[in-house]
Structure 1
């Protein structure tokens, strides 16, 4: 008889808690997000920025066809990490909810309402048999009265952030945000910070494998940056990255010298 690990019974069923209060399938869904491409969001007084790493695995893939930032409504966008097919289902649901709200009430949907609807759906997929949790997290950004930025978790939990990252580079990006984020930064500075944090998590950042979108307070319209715009910001950011790396090496050498 094959050995069965003690947690196996709780592992297979989405609706059964383990003795220590965990739902293993939800934890595994979070692992799918942790292994996914990095996505970051930065909020400032002038608007909100989303930036995502595009993992293009072949030079034959058309970069424009590999979409990781999605328009939900004129004033709302979402960036995904994890299983992209799962993310598309959530994005389509968010678009539907945004249009239902617009037709019902004659006004753009508040971002918080759409986030709650999506997280209600995610939570349902942790509670009923015959389904599995969504293996995707979304960063949802928008401007109603003011800029807003939310992270949604596979469990159905959601949080509002000033700056946040999801995916494999989360820890690196969050450390950068903790150090460099300022409440009074401009939109230009927010774009640079988002690209800087993303570039630090990537081996070879380029305008082809980075996607950036903004929504401004001024016009409340979603807009993706062109490749030329991303390249301009990336060139400026890479100079900062190189300067920081040189500074870190100099500090390491000075520490070594102090030991002799």
Structure 2
């Protein structure tokens, strides 16, 4: 029998291997593992996203790149993986959210939006002539059910989390969260935890490489922290020796 690569199982998106795998979907997962890390934390007071914007050049302007995208006033998403793929999904999510608000005159539920994103992702694992989206999205927001946090992966599956992380060094970040997370955190503590979790795996030498957004259960609006606010948070981080 030919090995999987010779049999073409790693090239065709519509063919299962004898082991029951779709290799292109697994390769998309590898792209996620190599992406810039993103952290999401949900607590009783709200939800937080924190993400790294890695400096790709000494001439790079960090303000020109987003790592946390506002989808609607109550929900945001942060990708890990191929950012070009993420842009397509973010635009799609914004269209879905806007259409829902226009038709029903109310903000979309965060889980309903996440499911719509994953439906599109899953379609790209079934048809020839396409490839899976090589990106994971952490979707966070506030809706009628309270604070919501979901992780989506290339196959189109989504799972709710209290804290989660995706991208490079996600394992290290999750270890930190497992040791330090509590659901009863206040909003300020939740923000600090997300940034410290990110810093447990990423050397933060410049506050401009971090993006942070949060929403409280009371206000129900996702807000991006200003560079000055992020710098103040970064200044509190313990120095690595």
Deviation at 1:5, TM superposition (A): 4.1
CA distance in 2, matches of 1:5, 1:228: 55
Match status 1:40 vs 2:36: no
Unpaired runs of 5+ residues, structure 1, are 246-260
Deviations 1:11-50 (A, max 9, x none): 1100000001000000000000000000000011111100
Match status 1:216 vs 2:216: yes
Deviation at 1:85, TM superposition (A): 0.4
CA distance in 2, matches of 1:173, 1:13: 34
DSSP-derived class of the 1:60 partner: coil
Contact 2:4 2:10 in 1 (8 A): no
Deviations 1:128-174 (A, max 9, x none): 11110000000000101200000000000000000000001110010
Deviations 1:216-259 (A, max 9, x none): 112111211111111111121225xx5xx7xxxxxxxxxxxxxx
DSSP-derived class of the 1:80 partner: strand
More moved, 203-212 vs 162-171: 203-212
Superposition map of 1:226-237 within 5 A: 226-237=226-237
Deviations 1:153-206 (A, max 9, x none): 000000000000000111001001111000100111111111001111113442
Superposition map of 1:20-39 within 5 A: 20-39=19-38
CA distance in 2, matches of 1:61, 1:174: 29
More moved, 190-199 vs 230-239: 230-239
DSSP-derived class of the 1:11 partner: coil
Deviations 1:68-108 (A, max 9, x none): 10000000000011000000000000000001111111100
CA distance in 1, matches of 2:204, 2:180: 22
Partner in structure 2 of residue 73 of structure 1: 72
CA distance in 1, matches of 2:70, 2:170: 23
Partner in structure 1 of residue 96 of structure 2: 97
Q: How many residues align?
A: 238
Q: TM-score, normalised by structure 2?
A: 0.96
CA distance in 2, matches of 1:149, 1:57: 29
Q: TM-score, normalised by structure 1?
A: 0.89
Deviations 1:108-129 (A, max 9, x none): 0000110000000000000111
DSSP-derived class of the 1:101 partner: helix
The structure that is helix-richer by fraction is 1
CA distance in 2, matches of 1:6, 1:232: 52
Partner in structure 2 of residue 248 of structure 1: none
CA distance in 2, matches of 1:236, 1:153: 32
Contact 1:7 1:18 in 2 (8 A): no
Q: Structure 2 vs 1, CA of residues 38 and 205 (structure 1 numbering), >3 Å: closer, same or farther? A: farther
CA distance in 2, matches of 1:82, 1:195: 20
Partner in structure 1 of residue 14 of structure 2: 15
CA distance in 2, matches of 1:118, 1:56: 29
Across the aligned residues of Structure 1 and Structure 2, the Cα RMSD in angstroms comes to: 1.2
**Runs of 4 or more off by more than 2 Å in structure 1?**
4-8, 203-206
Contact 1:199 1:205 in 2 (8 A): no
